[in-house]
Amino acid sequence: MGRIIDWARNRSPWILHLNCGSCNGCDIETLDALMPRYDIERFGIQKKDTPRHADILVATGPVTKQMAPRLERIYEQMPEPKLVIAAGSCASTGGVFHDCYNCHEGVDDVIPVDMYLPGCPISPETLIDGIVKLLEESGQDAKAERLAEKKPEIVEEGTPIDEAVPKEPDADRTETDDAPQEGADEPEPVEV
Amino acid sequence: MNPNQLKSDLDERLEDVIAASGKREDGRLEFVLADRADLPDGVSRIRDAGITHLITITGVDGDEEIEILYHFLKYGEYDDGDLSEGIELTLRAIVPKEDPTIGTITDQIPAAGLYERELMDMLGVEVPDHPNPEKLLLPDDYDGGPPLRAENLEVSD
Amino acid sequence: MSEQSAGTEIPVGPQHPSLKEPANFTLNVDGEVITGAEMKLSYNHRGIEQAVLSKSYIEAIYLLERICGICSHAHTSAFTQGVEELLDLEVPPRARYIRTLIGELERIHSHMLWLGVAGHEIGFDTLWQYAWRDREIVMDLLEEITGNRVHYSINTIGGVRQDLNDDYREAILDGMDDLEERIDFYRNTVPNEETVRMRCEGVGVVSEELAREYCAVGAVGRASGVPTDVRKDAPYAAYDDVDFDVITDDRGDLLARTVVRIEEIAQAIRIIRQVAERIPEGDLKASAKPPQALLAQVPEEDVVSRYEAPRGELVHYVRADGTDTPARVHIRVPTLANWPTVVESLKGSYIADTPIVVAGIDPCISCTSRIGVETDGSHGGENAFDLDELREYGIEWYDERGNVDRPSTEDDGRTVADGTEGERP
C-alpha cells in the first residue's frame, strides 16, 4: 500500500470527466483546459478514460435518471483517495433543470461531492482554481502548491497563445515539459 | 412559385381530403385533414407536388383530442451558391384521445421514423404499422404516462 | 474465436459492456464490414419540453438556451423569433444585425470545435490542438461582446440585450483578419493531409438520393448536394441584407463534410465583416414596453420558427394560449434529423470507421460518449470496446493498413424502415 500512496502523493492529479446529462457547455470548457491556451497538461494534470486511474472525478450536468446508476458505478470503481468535483450550476444544484422530471438536483443527489464549481458554464480557469483549492482542502498541500506556482501564467494573462503552441507542427503534446513525475510512468493498477 | 400559387395547387390536389386550408401572414400554408385515415393519401399528394422535405412531426394535446402536425418544406431553387426562398406548410391531423392511433408515413418518407417514435413516447399516440416502435427518448423502464399529455404535466403556476 | 458468419450481431453499449448496460447501438457485421446498424438513442433526455410549459416566455429563453452549450444562441434566436411573430413585433435592424453577428460567431466556434473533434477521432490530435487554439479568437470576441464565452443570453423578446460599440467593431474586424489567415491554412492543408484523406475520403458516403429521403439537414445535407439553408430559404435576422454563398459538395463523404464546414467558416467571416462594417444605428428592442406587458397580448396561435444552427435546420414550434406561459413548445434539433444518415452510412463501412462516421454529422458530444462497441471477436480482434477504445482501434487499424479499398456496397436490400434499422437481404 505504501508504494501506491507515495505514487499518488507525488504526481499531479489525474481527472476523469463524466457528462451526466449536461448541455456540453461545462464539458467543452473542461476539455478546453487541455488545449494550448490553458494547457493543464503542463501541470501534470491528465485526463484519464477509466475510473481506475483517476484521482478526481469532474462531473457535469444535473444527472439525468439514465446516468445516475452509471455515475454511482464509476464512483465505486475509483480507488481511494478519491475526490469529486461538481462542475457548473447544473452539477451543483440541478441548475435550470432542477425541476425537470428526468433529472436529479445535481451530483450530490447521487454521490458525495467535495468541491462545487459555479458558473454556467464554468470557465477553464475556474476548473484549475477548483482543483488547486480542492487539493489544499483535502490535505494534499504539496500538490496544490506545485500547481499554484504555475497558475499565475494563466490568471495574469501571461502566456500569449502563440507561445503555447509547439514550434514543430508535428509535435504531439502528450508530454508535459516538466521533469517526469515520480512514479508516473508505470501506473500501478490500483485494485484495492 | 410563391405561397399563393402553391396554395392553389395544393388546394386542388387535396380537395377531397381536407376540411380547411389557410395561409398565414408569414407565408406558411396550413391544411387540415378531414379524416385521419387519409393521411397517407394526403402525404402522397403533397409529395406529388414536389414537396419532399419533412421538417418534423409535432403532437399537441388538446382537450378531447390530440393534434398531429406534419411540417413540410418546399425547397427553394438553388443556383451556384444562391438559394431562393422556400415555402413551409403544415398538414394537421386530429385523433381522438380514446383511440389515439394514426397511420405511419415512413414508407413514403423514411425520415418520419424517428419523429413518429417521439410522438409515441411523448404523447402516447399509437402508430401501429411503424417498422420499429421502440422507445426513442424515454428510458425503457419508464413507468409514467406520456409526459406531454395534459394529465401528466406537472405545471406549476 | 467463432467463425465469421454473415450477419453477426455486435451489441454496442453506452458504457463498457462489463457494466451490463442495455445496448443502445447494434452493429451487424460480416468480418470487418458493417452490414447493418440498429440505433437506439438515449439522449440527454431532461424533460425540457415539459418544464418549459411552467415558465413564462421570458424564463423559457434561459431554459431553452441550455439545451445545448454549443449552439445556445440558435435556440434563443429560434424561440424569440417565434414569439415575436406571435406578438407581431418588428425587431429593429440594429438588433437583427447583432443577432446575425452572434449567430455567425457561434457558427465559427462550433465548426472549429467540430474540426478538432474530427481530428481527434482519426488520431490527428495536432489538428485538435490547433483548431481549438484558433477557436479562442472567437471565444474571446464572444466574451467581450456578450460577457460570457458560452450561453451569451443576448436575445430577449423584441430584440437584444447588449449593444455593439466601436471598440467591439474594431476588435471583431481584427479578429476576422487573424481568423482568415488560419482558415486559409486549414482550407489548404486539411483536405490534402494524408491522414485525413485516408480516413475520410470515400468514407461514410451518403448519396444525394439518400440525403433527400432522410431529409438530411445542415452541412450533412449540403455535403451530399442537398442545398438547404434556412438563412436563405426563410431569411431571418439580417440575412437578407448580407451576401454569402450556400456551400455544397457532391461527394457526400466525410471529406466533403469537412470541406463544407471549413468553407462555411470562410463564409461566416464574410458575413461578420459585412455586419461589423454596415451595422445601422437604431434601437435594440422592438418596443420600450417591458416584455411582461407585451406578453399580456399574446394571441391563441401557433408558429413554426426555423433557424440555421451550426448543425443544420433547427425548429421551434410554439403554441400560445393567451397566457404568459406557452401551451406547447416542440423542438426538433438538427442532430435528430441527421441520425438516420449515420446508420445508413455505417452500412458498407468498416468497424474502424465508426467513430468518424458518427462524428461526421457533428452530434452532441454527450450523444457519442454513450456509444460503446461489443463484438464477439469474429472480426479477429478484441471483443469489447467503449468509444475511446474503438477510436484507438480505428487508428491502429488504419495505421497497419494504410489506404484501403472501400468495401463493396452491393444493394443491401434496405427495407423501408425508419432509418434506424438495417437488415441483410
Query: Which grid coordinates are listed for C110?
Result: 462550433
pLDDT grade for B37, boundaries at 50, 70 and 90: very high
Task: State the sign of the Cα–Cα–Cα–Cα dihedral A155, A159, A161, A165.
Answer: negative
In a domain? residue B14: yes
Q: What is the pLDDT of residue C412?
A: 43
Q: Judge whether C181 lies within some domain.
A: yes
Q: What pLDDT was estimated at residue C366?
A: 43
Mean pLDDT of C49-78: 91
- Residues C28, C117, single domain; the answer is no
Domains in chain A, number: 1
Once rounded to an integer, what is the mean pLDDT over residues A115-141? 89
Do the domain assignments include residue A54?
A: yes
Please judge whether B52 and C45 are an interchain contact, meaning their C-beta atoms are less than 8 angstroms apart: no
Q: How far is residue A128's CA from residue A58's CA, in Å, rounded to a whole number? A: 11
Transcribe C272-326 into DSSP letters: HHHHHHHPPP--SBS-SS-HHHHHTT--S-EEEEEEEETTEEEEEEEE--SSSS-
Mutate which: C15, C18, C44, C365, vs A, most A CBs within 10 A: C44
What CATH number should be reported for the domain holding residue B81? 3.30.460.80
Chain A partners of C369 at a C-beta cutoff of 8 Å?
Answer: 19
Same-domain status, C16 and C103: no
Q: Which residues of C168-180 are buried (b: 16+ CB within 10 A; e: fewer)?
A: bbebbeebbeebe
What CA–CA distance (Å, rounded) separates C307 from C316?
A: 8
Pairwise CB contact (< 8 Å): C416 & B131:
yes
User: Whose grid coordinates read 502563440?
Assistant: A162
Q: In this structure, are residues A130 and A137 in contact, taking their beta carbons and an 8 Å threshold?
A: no
Residues C287 and C159 occupy one common structural domain: yes
Residues C328, C339: one domain? no
pLDDT digits (tens, 9 = 90+) for B67-105: 999 999 999 999 888 899 999 999 999 999 999 999 999
- The answer to whether B71 and B55 are in contact (CB under 8 A) is yes
The domain of A119 spans: 2-162
A98 vs chain B: nearest CA distance in angstroms? 13
Assess whether C275 and C348 both reside in one domain.
Answer: no
Q: Are residues C284 and C317 in the same domain?
A: yes
Q: Which residues of B touch A66 (CB under 8 A)?
A: 139
C-alpha cell at A21: 446529462
Q: Domain count of chain C?
A: 2
The pLDDT of residue C43: 43
Taking only the tens place, the pLDDT of each residue in C179-208 is 999 999 999 999 999 989 999 999 999 999
Domain of residue B50, residue span: 3-111
C215: left (phi over 0), alpha (psi -120 to 50) or beta: left
User: Rounded to a whole number, what is the distance in Å from the CA of B45 to chain A's nearest CA?
Assistant: 40
Q: Summarize pLDDT for C273-283 with one digit per residue, the tens.
A: 999 999 999 99
pLDDT at A103: 87
CATH number for position C393 = 3.30.390
- CATH number for the domain spanning A72: value is 3.40.50.12280
What would the pLDDT profile of C128-151 be if each residue is shown by its tens digit? 999 999 999 999 999 999 999 999
**For residue A28, which amino acid is it?**
I
Query: Which domain, by its residues, includes C255?
Result: 48-332
SS3 label, residue C344: helix
User: pTM for the full model?
Assistant: 0.86
Measured CA angle at B143 (ends B139, B146), to 5 deg: 85
Which residue has better confidence, C259 or C9? C259
Which chain A residues contact residue B154 at CB under 8 A? 101
Could you give phi then psi for residue B31, rounded to 5 degrees?
-135, 130
Same domain, C159 and C231: yes
Q: Does residue B79 sit in helix, strand or coil? A: strand
> Looking at the complex, does the CB of residue A66 fall below 8 Å from at least one CB of chain B?
yes
pLDDT for the residue C390: 75
Contacts of residue A66, defined as CB under 8 A and 6 or more positions apart, other chains included, come to A21, A102, B139, C42, C45
Q: Do residues C36 and C423 lie in contact, with contact meaning Cβ atoms separated by under 8 Å?
A: yes
pLDDT digits (tens, 9 = 90+) for C257-275: 999 999 999 999 999 999 9
Nearest CA of chain C to the CA of B13: how many Å?
Answer: 22
Q: Tell me the ipTM for this assembly.
A: 0.94
Task: Name the DSSP class of A51.
Answer: G
Task: Say if C12 falls within a structural domain.
Answer: yes
In this structure, is residue B147 part of a structural domain? Answer: no
Tell me how many domains chain B contains: 1
Q: Does B147 touch chain A (CB under 8 A)?
A: yes
Residue C418 belongs to some domain of the structure: no
Q: Which residue shows C-alpha cell 489544499?
A: A136
Quick one: average pLDDT of C106-114?
96
Residues of A in contact with B156 (CB under 8 A): 99
Residues 15-44 of B with CB under 8 A from C: 26, 28
